[in-house]
Amino acid sequence: MDTDAAPVSGTPQSSPSSPLALQLGFVLAAALWAFADTSSMSSFVSSTLTTLATLTAVALGSLYLFQDSLLYFPQVPDGAREQVMAPAALGMPGEDVVLPTPDGASLAAIFCPQADDAAAAAAHTILFFHGNAGNAGHRLPNAYHLHNLGFNVLLAEYRGYGRSTGRPSQAALEADAGLPLDWLLAQGHRIDTSRIIVFGRSLGGAVAIALAAQRQDDIAALVLENTFVSVVDMIDVVMPIFSPFKPLCSNPWRSADHMPSLTLPILFLSGLRDELVPADHMARLYDLAPLPARKRIVTFANGTHNETWLEPGYFDALAAFIRSDLPTIRAAMADSPEQSQ
């Protein structure tokens, strides 16, 4: 989509218990070992089965234990763990925000408020969850355009990415996602906390959906760009060789399961030439969002996975949703919740 820091003691991880499929795999390996040990087998067949059993056990165990390194790429490109661009490089106001986690890790976010205090207090604030690989600083050119539109921007960072400590996993990223939101909600003296927009691109879309499913009362709207139905579905697309082992996936990111519960306004931004996440994933997520009057989808015929935001009309569509559609939807929700569905 779109490994690194040492694990932190107490870091949220996937369940340590092996899934049923892994247990069955080892049962298969044990059966092969037992069968190979029967006295009636020739030494050649016995040796072959023993080798096959050993390779099966090693392969299944390795796939389960090291799958995080197949999914998360915080070390790409070179220097991504150490070199983080500062907003000043683009002439933007900005500040580093360090968010401690309950288990002792720290998340290094970047906040870019409007330079004028009054403008910052009146603006919408975009909580930005970026895609896989790189760090928050790599998304500052994107934040620059959002900032020029008059929005405050908080670029969230994942544990194990950029200057954040810890090790990434679905359990960890989901547990951490509320921390930048909590930080924004504590900035009521600087921003309008009723105007927080959560944005997620690719992997960040899965993080944003998971956060919205838990905290939609704290979020004015959700914006999703080129994200996926689930990582399990994506295995067939990007790593089909591992498709038989999908039951072993401990980072399934089943975004589709959350969509029917989301009743907040949602904008879907979909690049139809996405070469990584098939565009039909966005269409399926849009269909699963339950309230037609509260959702919008905008497609970009030439939009690719990482460059849809560079397409003509992209920022116009985003600004129109926030400045025009969102107030209308929110007013309808306040006046008549049933009719605004």
What residues are labeled active site?
202, 274, 305
Which residue has tokens 């709207």? Answer: 221
Which residue has tokens 């067949």? Answer: 45
Mention every residue, 6+ apart, whose C-beta is less than 8 A from residue 263: 216, 290, 291, 294, 341
Q: CA nearest 277: which of 222, 232, 229?
A: 229
Both structure tokens of 284: 């399926």
d(CA 150, CA 193): 16
d(CA 150, CA 114): 7
Which residue has tokens 């399961």? Answer: 257
d(CA 53, CA 28): 8
Both structure tokens of 4: 């690194």
